[in-house]
């Protein structure tokens, strides 16, 4: 379902991107609309797919998952079957937080979150490197996080 976003929809989306745990009442006060109207709009934004899901963003350091790696994956073959097989397998790995198919020099980039180098090494050897269609994996490790934002500018 395609809908056209108006000023109020955009305000609601901006608010929810900052803090999705806010009550309908708080949001309605901020956009100067009734709680019933805001509730209906949020429901419509979910149904239309503008809001995929509402989540809590955890502090990776406090849950001991702050060892972040980005792996560039090169595949041996680029047939539809091989690409789909890689996608189907990589999404099963809990350590893979994000996977993007790319244009350019490599086929996929993965954001991987582990507890430490030992855990990454285990993940690499026992999961990622076992996928049959991988030609090469080049991994870089994050030294420090400069910016991490989940809110899109609207």
CATH 3.30.70.920 occupies which residues in the chain? 67-141
pLDDT above 70 (res 32): yes
Residue pLDDT, tens place only, 62-118 = 999 999 999 999 999 999 999 999 999 999 999 999 999 999 999 999 999 999 999
Q: Decide: pTM greater than 0.75.
A: yes
- Domain boundaries 67-141, corresponding CATH code: 3.30.70.920
Please state, in angstroms and rounded to a whole number, the distance separating the CA atoms of residues 46 and 30: 20
Confidence of residue 2 (pLDDT cuts 50, 70, 90): confident
Contact present, 138 and 71 (Cβ < 8 Å): yes
CATH 1.10.10 occupies which residues in the chain? 7-47
Beta strands in the chain (DSSP E): 67-75, 96-101, 108-114, 134-141
Q: Does domain 7-47 have CATH number 2.10.25?
A: no
Residue pLDDT, tens place only, 103-131 = 999 999 999 999 999 999 999 999 999 99
């Amino acid at each position: 379902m395609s809908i056209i976003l108006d000023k109020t929809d955009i305000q609601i989306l901006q608010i929810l991107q900052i803090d999705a745990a806010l009550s309908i009442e708080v949001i309605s006060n901020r956009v100067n609309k009734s709680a019933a109207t805001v509730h209906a709009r949020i429901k419509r934004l979910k149904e239309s797919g503008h809001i995929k899901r509402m989540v809590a963003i955890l502090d990776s350091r406090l849950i001991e998952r702050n060892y972040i790696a980005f792996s560039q994956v090169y595949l041996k073959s680029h047939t539809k079957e091989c690409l789909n097989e890689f996608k189907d397998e990589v999404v099963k790995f809990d350590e893979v937080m994000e996977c993007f198919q790319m244009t350019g020099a490599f086929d996929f980039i993965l954001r991987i979150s582990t507890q430490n180098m030992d855990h990454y090494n285990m993940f690499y050897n026992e999961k990622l490197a076992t996928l049959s269609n991988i030609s090469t994996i080049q991994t870089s490790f994050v030294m420090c996080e400069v910016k991490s934002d989940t809110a899109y500018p609207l």
